[in-house]
Structure 1
Amino acid sequence: MSTTDIAGTVGTAVITLTEDDLDPYVTHAPTRRWLSGPGLPADGDLLSFDALRTDGLRTVGDSMGDPDQLAAELRDRLVIGGILGADGRETDSVLLDGATGEISTTYFLHDRPDLMDTRPLAPSLEKLVRFATAADELAALRGQFASYAGRLGPQAVAEASRQLLALFEEGTDGDPGPFWKMTAVIRPLSLVAGPGTTSGLALDLPPRLLDEAFGPGRIARFEEVDFPSTLTHEPTRRFLRETGLPEDGYWFSLDTDVPLPTLAEYEAICATEREDGITAAHLPAGADRLIRLGHLLEDTSLLIDGTTGAVLCWSEPDTTLRPLNADVSTLAFTLWLINREKSLATIHALTDAYDQLAETMSRTLATADPIACDPTPSTPSDDGWRYWPGVFGDEARKQAADMIKA
């Protein structure tokens, strides 16, 4: 096995295997030629083949240590890499059938190997590399997707999605499977908004994007009387007045009945209504400039820093303040993204692989708002947990638990 950089080119480091490496695992002739010739990319945004560099070819059975509890079709599949999550760590493992050349995925359940199964990923290594390259080029707006640089809005989303889906369908007889379908319909959603040049915020959203997605009657727009004096960040004030936010949706809800309170004011009111209210000593520093917009799940407040416009979440159970979004523009994008995903998931049956859908959502969100998914602690008490990737993952775990019970 070797890793080679092709002279005079950029980003073409590949992992190749020798004939001795392939014996006796791979008998499929085209697959042997691919692994000993073009090879697999050493670096990628979506897939990693580090398993080959560190361990060489190994079977699922060898990886588990106790193959007897595995389904027969899984035991001899070869572990060649993994799908990368938004945080850069491997999630599902990528498997190769050495006899047919087909590629699938599995998730290792070391405590319940009898529940492990496979999902089809690609009919061949050639198709796998081509699909992953297209997804990487879309993310970086280069190669076949270079023309989308600077093109934003729903039309750009629709065209990029059609182009990607057509590529995947061409290589799979019209049925690319859930993973590539969600890549084609979810990942291009990041093209709907571009870097903020007129709003003074992280993103410039297309006009009426939220109204068209949620319905005009469900968008809350605020008036000056609703703002506390500590909300001094003018781009945030303007966005809340003119664009607004959805009143409620999946995993969030705005408070629109009263003028927006600071976190200190809100918790003071709560303290008079319940015995276990948070005291001033438990509040984060600057609680008088943190303005409460509404709430998320599990006793978590949705906040805006009135000075900087940063959007944060405050968890009452563990009294921890964490970043949520860069600002209200990326918060609005997140809510639109979730709303759009729910519609697309129904059309394309994406929830058949909800764990992969959760990672695809996190990757798409991270493209538009890295802060929302970056686990780097921002304060001494910040544990790196991030709300949006967390709720995406919780939903996936709920789906998996339901499957095990069934």
Structure 2
Amino acid sequence: MTGTGVEAGRLRMVPEGVTHGPSRELLAAGELCWSYAYLDLEASGDEPLQSASSWYERQGVRGTEGLYVLGEARYEAFEGPVTVLLDGASGEVFLARPDDDDMLQRDLLASSPQCLIALAAEIEAVSAAAGGEHGLADGEVRPYGPAAVAEVEQLVRQLLREADPELFRRTDDRPAHWETALAIRALDWGADAGGPGGAAYAVSAALVEDLATLEGEGSVRRFEEAELPASVSHAPTRRLLREIGLPVSDRCLLDVEAEGPLRTLAQQYPENFDPGDEDEGELTTRPQQGGFLVVGGWMYDFVVLLDGATGRVELPDLWDDGEPAAYLHRDLSALLYVLWTFERLRAVRREAGHPWTPGPWSVFEPSELLDGAAEAVMRALDPEAFESESHFWPIRVDDGHMGSLLE
């Protein structure tokens, strides 16, 4: 992981106040100019390195002496931007933000720029390894699922300690930023991509079982062959319903009945498909959805529909303006993986905000990093689900009455 903001062969001017030798060398060579691990340091290569005193001059912030701005955290913070600062004398790196009294507050992020690079590299490696085949023997299959996520978190947590033991010692094993960043990236190990002609993701039974219990006690409904209508002709979807199943939990976003037949949308809402004596304005604008199966309830009193021929998952047009867009997810495997990721992120956020386990930080708020990363993480799993403002997930993101996406 190297910087890209300085032209090859051209050394960069470093302020005299940066007396820490290794920091001077890295800054001069452009090695601290990158955007990784939810930290944006790219500006530190394209512009003269700015002192924290100059950065906060208009606010009159105190406690900025000897500090230099490397960049900012790559997420929105409720009380103003979080900056990444370098102590020019010691080489220590901090997350910083002024408090209500205009005094600069700091959390140690890395004990040196070299350690900062090593820590960020470990976080980036989590995602890179999840999507690659490097290190696998012929015929070896990389494990995925909740157990793999836990194993990755345990392994990388130790690698982070080894990358900067001083950081973990000085923060009582709870440094700002890194473990929350790891919790987000480890979710890439939840499921592998599906093969050609198969489901979008190779979702495991263990993932669905975990999803069913993330919001309380739950179970999994696996359908008997006789329970599946002939209209479910998409083989990967039929196999998923029989072998993997759907979560059954009153508190899950997807509300699946524990028993009973799968009904079509036309059977559940006949008034939307049979004009009868009703005003034609009440009819659906998506008559093709009449034969789709209702697999469960959804937020805003929607129902989740399954096109049994293609495996595609849709929403009906129950709003007057024809919204939301029909497309919800590519198939049930994508729905389950996105929903599991969503609920896992919410669980991490709840735990981080629990009053019994407050963080020992002055600046870092795990909820800000989680909220800032959630949409991009989910979008990467099914980009079409976020294609326009009329699709469900962007509607949910923009719904200020519901709070942040993870609330």
| TM superposition shift of 1:246 | 0.9
Distance 1:376 1:271, change over 3 A: closer
- The reply on whether 1:193 has 2:191 as its aligned counterpart is yes
Distance 1:199 1:207, change over 3 A: farther
| TM superposition shift of 1:24 | 5.8
Which residue in the other structure is 1:355 paired with?
Answer: 368
Percent identity between the two aligned chains: 23
Q: How does 1:125-274 map to 2 (within 5 A)?
A: 125-141=113-129, 146-147=134-135, 150-153=141-144, 154-170=146-162, 171=164, 172-174=167-169, 175=173, 177-197=175-195, 200-211=198-209, 214=212, 218-223=219-224, 227=228, 230-248=231-249, 249-256=251-258, 259-268=261-270
Q: How does 1:5-404 map to 2 (within 5 A)?
A: 12-15=2-5, 21-23=13-15, 26-37=18-29, 39-42=31-34, 44=36, 46-58=38-50, 66-68=58-60, 71-73=61-63, 78-84=68-74, 93-99=82-88, 100-105=90-95, 119-141=107-129, 146-147=134-135, 150-153=141-144, 154-170=146-162, 171=164, 172-174=167-169, 175=173, 177-197=175-195, 200-211=198-209, 214=212, 218-223=219-224, 227=228, 230-248=231-249, 249-256=251-258, 259-268=261-270, 279-281=282-284, 283-284=285-286, 286-314=288-316, 316-317=318-319, 319-321=323-325, 323-341=327-345, 352-362=365-375, 364-365=377-378, 369-371=381-383, 375-377=386-388, 382=390, 385-386=393-394, 396=404
Aligned partners of 2:194 and 2:306: how far apart in 1?
18
Distance 1:391 1:257, change over 3 A: farther
| TM superposition shift of 1:165 | 0.5
Q: TM-score, normalised by structure 1?
A: 0.69
Which residue in the other structure is 1:404 paired with?
Answer: none
Q: TM-score, normalised by structure 2?
A: 0.69
SS, match of residue 294 in structure 1: strand
| TM superposition shift of 1:146 | 3.9
SS, match of residue 252 in structure 1: coil
AA aligned to 1:138 is V
Q: Which has the higher Rg, Structure 1 or Structure 2?
A: 2
| TM superposition shift of 1:231 | 3.7
Distance 1:95 1:186, change over 3 A: closer
Distance 1:388 1:183, change over 3 A: farther
Cα contact 1:165–1:185 (8 A) shared by 2: no
Cα contact 1:74–1:118 (8 A) shared by 2: no
Query: 1:28-47 CA deviation, whole Å, 9 max, x = no partner?
Result: 44422321146225464744
| TM superposition shift of 1:139 | 1.2
Report the more deviating stretch, 227-236 or 327-336: 227-236
SS, match of residue 320 in structure 1: coil
Aligned partners of 1:114 and 1:278: how far apart in 2?
59
Cα contact 2:286–2:317 (8 A) shared by 1: no
| TM superposition shift of 1:181 | 0.8
Cα contact 1:310–1:326 (8 A) shared by 2: yes
AA aligned to 1:303 is L
Cα contact 1:106–1:118 (8 A) shared by 2: yes
Aligned partners of 2:125 and 2:396: how far apart in 1?
25
| TM superposition shift of 1:123 | 2.9
RMSD: 4.8
Return 5+ residue gaps in structure 1 as ranges: 1-10, 86-90, 400-406
SS, match of residue 135 in structure 2: helix
| TM superposition shift of 1:177 | 2.4
Which residue in the other structure is 1:6 paired with?
Answer: none
Cα contact 1:46–1:136 (8 A) shared by 2: no
Report the more deviating stretch, 325-334 or 220-229: 220-229
By percentage of residues, which structure has more helix?
A: 1
Aligned partners of 1:297 and 1:146: how far apart in 2?
40
Return 5+ residue gaps in structure 2 as ranges: 359-364
Distance 1:321 1:291, change over 3 A: farther
Paired residues, number: 372
Which residue in the other structure is 2:361 paired with?
Answer: none
Aligned partners of 1:65 and 1:228: how far apart in 2?
68
Distance 1:276 1:79, change over 3 A: farther
